Structure 1
Amino acid sequence: MTGEGRVKILVGYVPTAEGEAALDAAAAEAKLRGASVLLLNTSRGDSYIDTRYANQAELDAAQARLRELGVEVTIQQAVSSGDVAHELLKAAEAKDVKLIVLGLRRRSPVGKLILGSTAQRVLLESPVPVLAVKVPSPRD
């Protein structure tokens, strides 16, 4: 199965340790399922300031990494109006993905209490399964 007929996995990618962990997990799932990966990188609205908005070299490196593993990848970048969860969910629906992969960062107890985050919204609102990948801390 190739191209458009292939199952798609959406990975929310940012050029951070969390994003790299999500990329690795998406690659492993794609190989397991014979799927392709849709890598979505989006900004909260200001691509010139937001360090989560990947530059071309970062996107090229992510693409090369997946292709070296034999995974077909499509890259999509979007500047959102500040609602990254909406962009991820919209892409999942429009591209008919079967799995969303997100990287999570460790949060303090207070951070967990006010977790009005992208990951929480995607986990709660996604119509497809979501794989949340945590970056291990040095003490894990």
Structure 2
Amino acid sequence: MTVLLSYTPSPQGEAAIPAAIREAQLRDVPLVVVNVLRGGALVENTASTEQDLAAVIEAAEQAGVPATAFQIEEADVVSGVLEAVQKFDAQLLVIGLRRRSPVGKLLMGSIAQRLLLEAPCAVLTVKPAV
């Protein structure tokens, strides 16, 4: 079993890192970090560099949590994350969420909403600090 962090190099992704590490510590399981590239688009703003992923792994290992990171090419981000949840037997999926305006609070991002509804495990959502 693992904790799986769906990571993007963004304020939301960065906010999710400490929460994912803490949950892996509490559950005494490894952390798996995945970054999904939509159709392999390396120029997309969700693509992590090797340095981004290495920094997440280093933070986890400094906290005593074994961690690995993967980039996945998938046409649909949600499908890629859900496949990783199954593959790595995740008991918890950790994702970052954007803060919303009053109008935006009526709608949740489609990726986050689909993950919350379709994930076969618990999902922890984390917002960045204001």
The C-alpha deviation readout for 1:33-90, integer Å capped at 9, x for no partner, is: 1011110001223533212110111111111111111111111111221x11111111
Q: Which amino acid aligns with 2:44?
A: D
Match among 48, 51, 63 for residue 54 of structure 1? 48
Q: Distance in 1 between matches of 2:84 and 2:103?
A: 31
- The answer to whether the Cα contact below 8 Å between 2:21 and 2:65 also exists between their aligned partners in 1 is yes
- Match for residue 100 of structure 1? 93
Q: In the aligned structure 2, how far is the partner of 1:39 from the partner of 1:91?
A: 9
Q: Gapped runs of 5+ residues in structure 2?
A: none
Q: Are 1:68 and 2:62 an aligned pair?
A: yes
Q: CA offset at residue 136 of structure 1? A: 2.4
Deviates more, 1:113-122 or 1:92-101: 113-122
List structure 1 runs of 4+ shifted beyond 6 angstroms.
Answer: none
1:136 pairs with 2:124: no
Partner Cα distance (2:37, 2:108) in 1: 19
Which of 8, 27, 35 is matched with 1:33 structurally?
27
Tell me what 1:11 maps to: 5
Using CA pairs under 8 Å that are at least 6 residues apart, name the structure with larger relative contact order, 1 or 2. Answer: 2
Q: Which of 124, 127, 133 is residue 120 of structure 2 equivalent to? A: 127
The answer on whether the counterparts of 2:73 and 2:80 sit within 8 Å (CA) in structure 1 is: no
The structure with more radius of gyration = 1
Structure 1 position 10, deviation (Å): 0.5
Aligned counterparts of 1:56 and 1:88: Cα–Cα separation in 2 = 19
2:38 is equivalent to residue 44 of structure 1: yes
Q: Partner letter of residue 77 of structure 2?
A: V
Whether the aligned pair in 1 keeps the contact of 2:15 and 2:129 (CA below 8 Å) is no
TM-score normalised according to structure 1 size = 0.85
Return the alpha-carbon distance in structure 1 between the equivalents of residues 63 and 9 of structure 2. 19
